[in-house]
Amino acid sequence: MTPEHKVGWIVGGAVVAVVAFLLLSERVEQKLAPEPQRVWVAIEVAGSGKAVTGRLYLESGTPFTLHAVLEARTLGGGTVYFTEAPRLEIRDEEVPPEALRRWTGSEEVRILWFTVEGFTPYFEVSDAADLESFEFREFYRPEWPRTWSVPGELQPFAEKYDPQAPKAPLPAFGTQRYHLRLEFFGPASAITPRLRLQSPAAGALPDDEADLPTVVVSLPDALAAPSRVFGLTQIEILTPDLTSVAEWLMSWSARQLAFSRLTVIKEMLSVAGVTYDALEWREVDLESGPGWGGEGVADGDFLRVGDRLVVLVKDLGAPMVLDYQDLCFDYLKGAKVQPLREVFAGEGLVEWAALPRG
């Protein structure tokens, strides 16, 4: 055997030994390391210092963070949680601080974030059987960091990728649900993950939503009800005599699963302590409309032309004057923020009704 052949055999043997060592090390580490069991998404409200699972109701402008949580079982039968959350509460039970860890394993953990939303922003029901085709889906958010903690975001998937979606000068609001998938890769599983785990997903809706992380963010006062439906599917019943469907929709609206224009208006009127028939409608001119504040218009008031009804949101045109530049919530085939000029551009009598002032 020539010296060159000897060197080749030595180098080849060394490579085989290194690969064998790595494979053996990975197996040994997997045997000793805590065994992944399940995945959670926990939400930390800014300033709270604690992430929690389940549903949170927040005021607009409140930042929040989504934390990935990996629950694992130790060799001794204990439970640990891998996360970047400073403190953690799962199902209203606080996790002991000594059970919290950051991921330091040799395996690469790929983190994929999703939102859980209705499959379409707008859905029409003309028969009870139509409900069978409605579904919730997970939408992958590739623009979010693949990290253990990400800033909370409310914007719906469809709106994020719609270049025509209006960029309103308002703080974020609406309802959003979140889903997480973890994929574990190592030397022996560089292409196909050794293990995949996921948090509660779209299949938990509508019946088993307790563990599905949900954030509901509302604008203040009269705008609370009409603002928190953003991000939900608008479901409109086209046949008036579908009583059972209407009751179903009211239930879904109360649980922030979907909404209709009627459920929004009903909730606003209920909070204000007034009926629709008791509203006083007055003709207004959007070229030189009434003023904002005092005895004039206010956030949460209604404007209508025929059966097209919107909710006033913000004075954005001439200061303290109701005009075509001001913003409204419009619920024509999906919740939108629009300037009044986009809604009342044609002919027709524009009427205003004020909600009772608190």
Q: Count the domains in the chain.
A: 2
Q: What is the pLDDT of residues 232-280, one digit of tens each?
A: 999 999 887 778 888 999 999 999 999 999 999 999 999 999 999 999 9
What pLDDT does residue 1 have?
A: 57
Q: For residue 28, what pLDDT band results from cuts at 50, 70 and 90? A: very low
Q: Are residues 204 and 325 in the same domain?
A: no
Range of the domain at 119: 33-124+135-221
Which pairs count as long-range contacts for 189-194, CB under 8 Å and 24+ apart, including other chains? 193/110, 194/107
Cα(29)–Cα(106) distance, rounded to whole angstroms?
8
Q: Are residues 327 and 253 in the same domain?
A: yes
To the nearest 10°, report the CA torsion of 113, 119, 121, 122.
-170
Q: Distances from the Cα of 110 to the Cαs of 3, 61, 103, 221, in angstroms?
A: 46, 30, 12, 42
State pLDDT tens for residues 128-172.
888 889 999 999 999 999 999 999 999 999 887 665 565 667 899
159, 337 Cβ separation under 8 angstroms: no
In a domain, 264, yes or no: yes
pLDDT surpassing 90 at residue 176: yes
Give 278-313 pLDDT, tens digit per residue: 999 999 988 877 899 888 999 999 999 988 999 999
Among 198, 221, 244, identify where a domain stops. Answer: 221
Q: Last residue of some domain: 166, 187, 221?
A: 221
Are residues 243 and 175 part of one domain? no
At 112, list the tokens. Answer: 């994929």
| pLDDT band per the 50, 70, 90 thresholds, residue 200 | very high
Please state, in angstroms and rounded to a whole number, the distance separating the CA atoms of residues 340 and 304.
Answer: 11
pLDDT digits (tens, 9 = 90+) for 54-81: 999 999 999 999 999 999 999 999 999 9
Give the pTM: 0.87
Residue 27 belongs to some domain of the structure = no
Do 62 and 205 lie in one domain? The reply is: yes
Mark whether 44 and 63 lie in a shared domain: yes
Q: What is the pLDDT of residue 324?
A: 92
**Digit-coded pLDDT (tens) for 88-134:** 999 999 999 999 999 998 899 999 999 999 999 999 999 888 888 99
Last residue of a domain, one of 186, 221, 256: 221
In a domain, 2, yes or no: no
Q: Is residue 156 part of a domain?
A: yes
Statement to judge: residues 215 and 229 lie in one domain: no
Map 292-304 to HEC letters: ECCCCECCCCEEE
pLDDT value, residue 35: 95
Whether residue 19 has pLDDT greater than 70: no
40 and 189 fall within a common domain: yes
Q: Is position 28 within any domain? A: no
With bands split at pLDDT 50, 70 and 90, how would you rate the model's confidence at 17? very low
Give bridge partners of residue 297 from the DSSP assignment: 292
- 312 shares a domain with 254: yes
- Residue 170 resides in a domain: yes
Residue 13's pLDDT is 55
Same domain, 304 and 252: yes
Whether 296 maps to a domain, the answer reads yes
Query: Do residue 168 and residue 233 come from a single domain?
Result: no
Q: Is residue 105 situated within a structural domain?
A: yes
Say whether both 187 and 43 belong to one domain: yes
Longest dimension (CA), the chain: 104
Residues 210 and 101 in one domain: yes
Query: What is the band of 7 on the pLDDT scale with cuts at 50, 70, 90?
Result: very low
- Report the pLDDT value the prediction gives residue 161, as an integer from 0 to 100: 67
18-32, 72-86, 222-236, 294-308: which has the minimum mean pLDDT? 18-32
